[in-house]
Amino acid sequence: MTNKALLLMSIAALPITPAKAQSQPQPLEATAQAIAAAPVDEGEILVTARRRSEAVQDVPLAVSVVGGAQIESTGAFNISRLVQLQPTVQFNTSNPRNTAINIRGLGAPFGLTNDGIEQGVGLYIDQVYYARIAASTLDFVDVEQVEVLRGPQGTLYGKNTTAGALNITTRRPTFDFEGRAELSYGNLDFIQAKASVSGPLVADKLAARISVSLSKRNGTLFNTVTGRDVNETDNLGLRGQLFWQASETIDVTLSGDYNRQNPEAFAQNYVTVVPTARAANRQFANLARLSNYAPASTNPFDRLVDNDSPLQARQVIAGASLLANWDIGPATITSISAWRKWDWLPSNDRDFTGLPITTISANPSQQRQLSQELRLTSNGSNRFDYVVGLFYFRQTINTQGVQEQGSAAGLWLLGPTVNAANPGLINGLRSDNDIRYTNDSAALYGKLTWNVSDTISIAPGVRVNYDKKDGSYSSVVTGGLTPVTPAQQTIKNGVLQNQNYQAVFSDWNLSGDVTLAWKPSDEILAYATYARSFKSGGINLSGIPTRADGVTPATELATVRPESVNHYEFGLKTQFGGNAATINLAAFRTDITDYQATVISGAVGVIRGYLANVPKVRSEGFELDVALRPAKDLNAYFNLAYTDAKYISFPGAPPPIELSGGAVQFVDASGGRLPGVSRYAISYGAEYRIPSAVFGQEGDFYVGVDGSLRSDFSSSATPSTVQNIEGYVLTNLRAGYRTQGGWELFGWVRNAFDTEYFDFLTAAPSSTGLIVGQLGDPRTYGVTAKARF
């Protein structure tokens, strides 16, 4: 059977297609690898970006697809590795809670997470919205394909997203028995096992699928204090699905999943020390001398740390969903009911040294979410297509923050002079925080596509949205030296202080978009889009600055205004030579007013920031996606993203690390670039196959290469001269043999040239000048065996 035939059969498995087409659900096998992420193949690439199954080249959106086969062959088994195939996506994580996915430089503020705001990039798995982006740090489990949608998506998706969406689809249950198994082993004792089995329980009526994924790897850093490797991998994922074909027109899918991560991980190590605006006796070198302290190594690529506080990053993400489709003839009614939970139990070393400065820093958190979406999707017509939906979402979060200072805190946080006059003042000073948050959101959205002629279509969309958020923050400070004088209490308050406030945000919003598309031939599609979108306002739930008295919370800073977004995009999609070449180009500009950013308080001991609105931000650029088949057995791809993302107006920005600790409280960052995004990012690769028969089975020997390049980027929320990360190139190699009968064996090398690079840099608290970083993976290598039956 041809790849194209398999793809056409797989339409039945998509949950948004008419139910009567699903009487024999088949796994959607993305045999054609993704435009912008994979080599060309014979079949069409099908996407559900517009809530119906369509060829990606017929969709007037900037959308890229990575198929399950490409994910497995390149080792992109989670979103952080997927970024190497998708140059327009940025992924930043210092631990699962503090994780952000951005597209074109936009999406979430750079820095530590604040519970009271939303992501600008939506994460959807099997049509269910995941409110906590922490799920993106876990392994993919039995994934069919990943669609990356760029730009606002509020008129097609339940939760409003201003920067884009990741739409992940897992493999569906089948009425034909099938199974898959994969086992990988590599250096650092890396082991990864994946398996799934699918088949009928009741012929033509009830089918089931069970999937499991397990990944373990030793750490890539060595902790000289504990004598153990850290930054390890320890992931477990389970997924189960039941598919019920209730009638020719009604089908129901019940899904459940459990994901657990429990590594000793997310340490950051010494990178450098820079001068700050503090007095000379409060610089890192002098404080280290007085403490008789030296870092484990001053060369970060020695991969040594000296964390004296426990490291833990345990999280459990689980949930269940019920998806029902009812084909009523001209349209399909779809209902998606979902419940999800996220439990987070961390421990960090937030002074980043082997000294007892901050001995405890942890923010255990529990989230629960309920969502209900009801959608009506047309089944196709000659003149009009439409999607209309209702969406309700409720989220609750309870976070218990703890920070405790140790015996070295006085010297490092107060300075030698103040500490000498007040010995032991903040030793044992502790803050216990209780954070409560409730988020209710409801929306009516819709998009109409008017096919004016065989070549021209106009697609307006609209969204009416209501959000209400209730939050409270309580910090109770105990410990330290007692009793104290009023002057000493003021010093203690400058490190940690009691704070209690409540805040409410509620707002209605009307937004929309319109797309004009022109398809003069089967090989060419041109489109232009304008979108007026928004990102809901939020509540500061990590503490806020105080008024002039140094005690009273500045409650006017407890909430942040919504972002207002104007987005413009022009795209051209082309194919040549009977699918031998695909060249897609998108140019965009996004203007944001009241951009939500994380800024840092001037308090001495504060390690978390608070949210504020930046007057204006802009991201503009273009993306080029090329996929080629220059010869029958050779596939190649090349993707380029040029992104110029900057602050247009940011007059009240916090000072960067080199100006911190002095008289300068604010700087004008207008014109500075946004953090985390490179001006140029490229991915490229090729695979060459040699058809051969082994032991009587037809198959292919193959060699493949995948590479990625990022130019330099800022790692500071306020542009800094010392917190920029140099650009780098990563190269991955693979070679192996695959049969048409369903088994494959290949070896792989990732980061083949052992490139030394940073994922991001962080300025340690208290303006001592210490900069720490999170290192990218070193060279890894191994072998993978796969089988299908």
Residue 694 pLDDT level (bands cut at 50, 70, 90): confident
Mapping DSSP onto H, E and C, the string for 329-343 reads CCEEEEEEEEEEEEE
**Residue 154: its pLDDT value, please?**
86
**Mean pLDDT score of the chain, rounded to an integer?**
90
The yes-or-no verdict on residue 747 having pLDDT over 60 is: yes
The yes-or-no verdict on residue 6 having pLDDT over 60 is: no
**Residue 80: its pLDDT value, please?**
80
Contacts (Cβ under 8 Å, ≥6 apart) of 280: 286
What whole-number distance in Å separates Cα of residue 223 and Cα of residue 303? 9
The yes-or-no verdict on residue 615 having pLDDT over 60 is: yes
The yes-or-no verdict on residue 40 having pLDDT over 90 is: no
In terms of Cα–Cα distance, which of 789, 781, 699 is closest to 184? 781
In terms of Cα–Cα distance, which of 603, 489, 590, 520 is closest to 554? 603
**Residue 601: its pLDDT value, please?**
52
What whole-number distance in Å separates Cα of residue 77 and Cα of residue 257? 17
Contacts (Cβ under 8 Å, ≥6 apart) of 482: none
The yes-or-no verdict on residue 498 having pLDDT over 90 is: yes
Out of 130-139, 351-360, 382-391, which region has the weakest mean confidence (pLDDT)?
130-139
pLDDT average, residue stretch 283-289: 97
Convert the pLDDT of each residue in 622-655 to its tens digit: 999 999 999 989 999 999 999 999 999 999 888 9
Residue 745 pLDDT level (bands cut at 50, 70, 90): very high
The yes-or-no verdict on residue 21 having pLDDT over 60 is: no
The yes-or-no verdict on residue 308 having pLDDT over 50 is: yes
The yes-or-no verdict on residue 775 having pLDDT over 70 is: yes
**Residue 577: its pLDDT value, please?**
81
H or E element in which residue 8 lies: helix 3-10
**Residue 289: its pLDDT value, please?**
97
Mapping DSSP onto H, E and C, the string for 185-254 reads EECCCEEEEEEEEEEEEECCCEEEEEEEEEEEECCCEEECCCCEEECCEEEEEEEEEEEEECCCCEEEEE
What whole-number distance in Å separates Cα of residue 101 and Cα of residue 115? 16
Residue 117 pLDDT level (bands cut at 50, 70, 90): confident
The yes-or-no verdict on residue 316 having pLDDT over 70 is: yes
The yes-or-no verdict on residue 20 having pLDDT over 70 is: no
Q: What is the dihedral of CA 673, 677, 679, 681, to 10 degrees?
A: 180
The yes-or-no verdict on residue 480 having pLDDT over 50 is: yes
3-state secondary structure of 491: helix
H or E element in which residue 514 lies: strand 499-521
The yes-or-no verdict on residue 605 having pLDDT over 50 is: no
pLDDT average, residue stretch 361-384: 93
Q: pLDDT above 70 covers what percent of the chain?
A: 93
The answer to whether 595 touches 566, Cβ cutoff 8 Å, is no
The yes-or-no verdict on residue 8 having pLDDT over 60 is: no
**Residue 114: its pLDDT value, please?**
85
How far is the CA of 567 from the CAs of 232, 512, 540, 644, in angstroms?
Answer: 40, 11, 27, 14
**Residue 415: its pLDDT value, please?**
96
What whole-number distance in Å separates Cα of residue 184 and Cα of residue 186? 7
The set of long-range contacts for 40-43, using a CB threshold of 8 Å and a minimum separation of 24, is: 40/579, 40/580, 40/581, 40/582, 40/627, 40/628, 40/629, 40/635, 40/637, 41/3, 41/635, 42/2, 42/3, 42/4, 42/579, 43/2, 43/3, 43/4, 43/6, 43/7
What whole-number distance in Å separates Cα of residue 198 and Cα of residue 175? 8
The yes-or-no verdict on residue 16 having pLDDT over 50 is: no
Residue 696 pLDDT level (bands cut at 50, 70, 90): confident
Convert the pLDDT of each residue in 211-233 to its tens digit: 999 999 999 999 999 999 999 99
Residue 611 pLDDT level (bands cut at 50, 70, 90): confident
**Residue 23: its pLDDT value, please?**
31
Contacts (Cβ under 8 Å, ≥6 apart) of 221: 229, 230, 231, 267, 269, 303, 304, 305, 775
**Tokens in use for 599?**
């800024």
**Residue 619: its pLDDT value, please?**
97
pLDDT average, residue stretch 743-763: 96
Rg (CA), the chain: 27
Between 547 and 783, residue with greater pLDDT: 783
**Residue 344: its pLDDT value, please?**
95
In order, the DSSP letters of 442-490 are EEEEEEEEEE-SSSEEEEEEEEEEEEEEEEEEEEEEE-SSSS--HHHHH
Q: Is 635 exposed, middle or buried (0-12, 13-18, 19+ CB in 10 A)?
A: buried
Q: pLDDT above 90 covers what percent of the chain?
A: 75
What whole-number distance in Å separates Cα of residue 593 and Cα of residue 614? 7
**Residue 43: its pLDDT value, please?**
52
Q: Which domains does the chain have, with CATH numbers?
A: 3-788 (2.40.170.20)
The yes-or-no verdict on residue 789 having pLDDT over 60 is: yes
**Residue 35: its pLDDT value, please?**
34
The answer to whether 322 touches 374, Cβ cutoff 8 Å, is no
**Tokens in use for 248?**
């020719």
The yes-or-no verdict on residue 314 having pLDDT over 90 is: yes
Lookup result for tokens 């009567």? 20
The yes-or-no verdict on residue 142 having pLDDT over 60 is: yes
What whole-number distance in Å separates Cα of residue 633 and Cα of residue 655? 55
**Residue 28: its pLDDT value, please?**
30
**Residue 125: its pLDDT value, please?**
93
| pTM score of the predicted model | 0.91
Residue 620 pLDDT level (bands cut at 50, 70, 90): very high
Out of 49-53, 338-342, 611-615, which region has the weakest mean confidence (pLDDT)?
49-53
pLDDT average, residue stretch 742-762: 96
Convert the pLDDT of each residue in 714-728 to its tens digit: 999 899 999 999 999
**Residue 704: its pLDDT value, please?**
97
Convert the pLDDT of each residue in 529-586 to its tens digit: 999 999 999 999 988 888 878 788 888 889 999 999 999 999 999 998 877 899 999 9
How far is the CA of 481 from the CAs of 351, 428, 477, in angstroms?
Answer: 21, 8, 12
pLDDT average, residue stretch 339-350: 95
The answer to whether 252 touches 246, Cβ cutoff 8 Å, is yes
